[in-house]
Amino acid sequence: MVILNINSKSKIIFVSADYTIKNQALEVGAIDFLEKPIDFNTLNIMIEKYSSIKN
């Protein structure tokens, strides 16, 4: 994943309407997966959760 090659401290929450790619997204470095349509409450919880994790 290009972003992780640039900054390995990046935390990627992968968003897609295609739930079948969740495992693939996690395998390439996403920290979590959120299926569309986006539930913004869930997204905010994820952002708060992962922003507190130190690399």
pLDDT in tens, 2-54: 656 777 778 889 999 999 999 999 988 899 999 999 999 999 999 999 998 87
Residue 49: per-residue pLDDT: 94
pLDDT at 9: 75
**Nearest-CA neighbor of 30 among 6, 3, 48, 55?**
3
Does the pTM surpass 0.75? The reply is yes
* pLDDT for 52: 86
Number of residues in the chain: 55
Backbone φ, ψ for residue 41 (5° rounding): -65, -45
pLDDT of residue 53: 80
Sequential DSSP letters for the chain: -HHHHH-TT---EEEES-GGGHHHHHHTT-SEEEESSP-HHHHHHHHHHHHT---
Amino acid at 52: S
Q: Which pLDDT value is given to residue 2?
A: 60
